Structure 1
Amino acid sequence: MNKKRIILGLSGGVDSSTSAYMLKEDGFEVIGVTLVVSKEQRESQDLKDAISLGKELNIEHIVLDIVDEFNEKIVKYFIDEYSKGMTPSPCVVCDEIIKIKKLIEIANLKEAYYIATGHYCEISKENRFKRNLFKKPKDIKKDQGYMLYRIEPEIIERMIFPLAKYEKTIVREKAKKYGVKVFDKKDSQGICFAKEGYLEFLKKMLGDKIKPGNYLD
């Protein structure tokens, strides 16, 4: 496998866009991958921004439409778990079985050793455990290591986080310096498939099935 070729999850936001510039600056052959997980995303500004960045950097850019798979494995899981009275964490599950899995699959096809994302997370080699572990990044307020805790050790070995040693304000400054058009784009918040808020989403999807109940400790 080629250790100078890297597959980057490219969302169209400032973090992944800046990561693309940083990785290319470090001498990597960057291949961007955008996962389309909803019908709305197919026509979204984020997708247009990701495509535009790929052209600006003159890198290969793969747009993978996985709407049906995402609905079945993540959205359905989210609804089913809440219906049982559980409190699911869809982003954690998505990172494990959708996003990182797809990046690794494409990396294997392209014979790229590394994959990268714009997560604020760092990797540390812990000899006492004989494996790599996630640790807090420079910007503790943006720490996203908890979202990746289910990733297998052999995959962590192949992951790179370009933003690990930077605070978000510095990342935006770097983005502006690189000429990233989305350097001031607002951070995404909440669940990607429930922009209106998870409660409103559940009401829309479950309707009269939602019943009042007690909080049990």
Structure 2
Amino acid sequence: MAERVLVAMSGGVDSSATALLLRRQGYELVGLFMRTGDHGNASEATPSRKKGCCSALDASDARRVADLLDMPFHALDFEEDFGRIVERFVDEYRAGRTPNPCVACNNWLKFGRLAEMADRLDCHWIATGHYAQIIRPHGADRAELHRGLDPAKDQSYVLHGIKPKVLERVLFPVGGLPKTQVREIAQEAGLPVFSKPDSVEICFVPDQDHVGLVRRLRPGQSIGGDIIDTAGNRLATHDGLERFTIGQRKGLGLGGGKPRYVLQLVPDQGTVVVGERDELP
């Protein structure tokens, strides 16, 4: 009997090619679409627009590919669970830190809940379209996470927190391929998503306005204050720490002159400390 794999299908070319490659390798597949972020609707997306994930269009695309590959397909709504990740994202910005929600989503929600669903559906393996590689050294009883072959698409940095017991069950079929080849494989197989744009934004901030999101979810709670240099000289004022991140150079509102970078954020005072590049921590 073929080994059973739960495939996380986002409706994009990477997860679709993942399912295709595993099908060719003889696995028995079950597709799962995880609705996590902004639902949106199919009419809002266009083929030329880079976008987030988890829209109605994405769900439809994932189901179409599952039908073409003759695999069972489930669509589950994890929006309530995902709310915890959004809340953490907002609170981290307000605390003067710059979060990476993809790390939290992968560690807790995607690979945590995927493992649970895999157990329920009697699937030993879990597969996604991430650009990373799993190495299982000969004679070792562990799986190792390595970078994807395509350096421009490597996603191993957002997967480092996957629990070892879960990592042992993970398959990344496209991780050892360049993105161009993945698209070619999908096109040759007649998958309708072969030319679909990559999802590059944070899925719950499709307009890339994270400041607006923070202020909508925490109205009236922005922490304003002074922008100062390392000598304590006041250079300007600002209306919220959520506008800044360590290392930022653009958008400081300091006018011309020598480039300045954000060196430190002091949440309890609302202070932004700036300086020259060689002063960065």
Q: Which amino acid aligns with 1:89?
A: N
- What corresponds to 1:83 in structure 2? 94
Measure, in 1, the Cα distance between the counterparts of 2:175 and 2:39: 30
State the shift of 1:164 in Å. 1.6
Alignment of 1:142-161 (within 5 A): 142-161=153-172
* Structure 2 equivalent of residue 214 of structure 1: 272
Matches within 5 A, 1:151-190: 151-190=162-201
> Which structure's residues are more often helix, by fraction?
1
**Distance of 2:77 and 2:194 partners within structure 1:** 26
The Cα of 1:85 is off from its aligned counterpart by: 1.4
Does 1:200 pair with 2:212?
A: yes
- Confirm whether residue 115 of structure 1 aligns to residue 126 of structure 2: yes
The answer (yes or no) to whether the contact 2:107–2:159 under 8 Å persists in 1 is: yes
The verdict on how the C-alpha distance between 1:215 and 1:14 changes in structure 2, with shifts beyond 3 A counting, is farther
Tell me if 1:102 matches 2:101.
no
1:33 is paired with a residue whose SS is: strand
C-alpha separation between the residues in 2 aligned to 1:26 and 1:215? 55
| CA distance 1:215–1:117, change in 2 (3 Å) | farther
Larger Rg: 2
Unaligned runs of 5+ in 1: none
Structure 2 CA distance, aligned partners of 1:24 and 1:122?
19
Question: Which residue is equivalent to 1:54?
Answer: 66
Distance 1:3 1:104, change over 3 A: farther
User: Which whole-Å CA distance do the structure 1 matches of 2:108 and 2:57 have between them?
Assistant: 25
Amino-acid identity (%) = 33
Three-state SS of the structure 2 residue aligned to 1:149 is coil
Aligned-residue offset at 1:209:
2.4
CA distance in 2 between partners of 1:50 and 1:5 (Å): 19
Report the Cα offset of residue 127 of structure 1. Answer: 7.1
Which of 91, 94, 104 does residue 93 from structure 1 map onto? 104
* CA-CA distance at 1:132 after TM superposition: 2.0
Equivalent residue for 1:34? 33
Distance 1:51 1:84, change over 3 A: same
Task: Give distance in 1, aligned partners of 2:33 and 2:273.
Answer: 39
The residue identity in structure 1 corresponding to 2:70 is N
2-structure distance, mates of 1:41, 1:31: 25
CA distance in 2, matches of 1:12, 1:98: 18
Residues 162-186 of structure 1 show CA distances to partners (whole Å, capped at 9, x for unaligned) of 1021100000000100111010011
Task: Please give the root-mean-square deviation of Cα atoms over the aligned residues, in Å.
Answer: 2.1
The secondary structure found in structure 2 opposite 1:142 is coil
Q: Name the TM-score, length of structure 1 as normaliser.
A: 0.91
The runs of at least 4 consecutive aligned structure 1 residues that moved more than 4 Å come to 126-130
How far did 1:80 drift?
1.3
The match for 1:141 among 142, 146, 152 is 152
How far apart, CA to CA, are the structure 1 residues paired with 2:103 and 2:2?
27
What are the Cα deviations for residues 11-33 of structure 1, in whole angstroms up to 9, with x where unaligned? 00000011111111110111011
In structure 1, C-alpha distance between the alignment counterparts of 2:167 and 2:40, rounded to whole Å:
28
Partner of 1:19: 18
Number of equivalenced pairs: 215
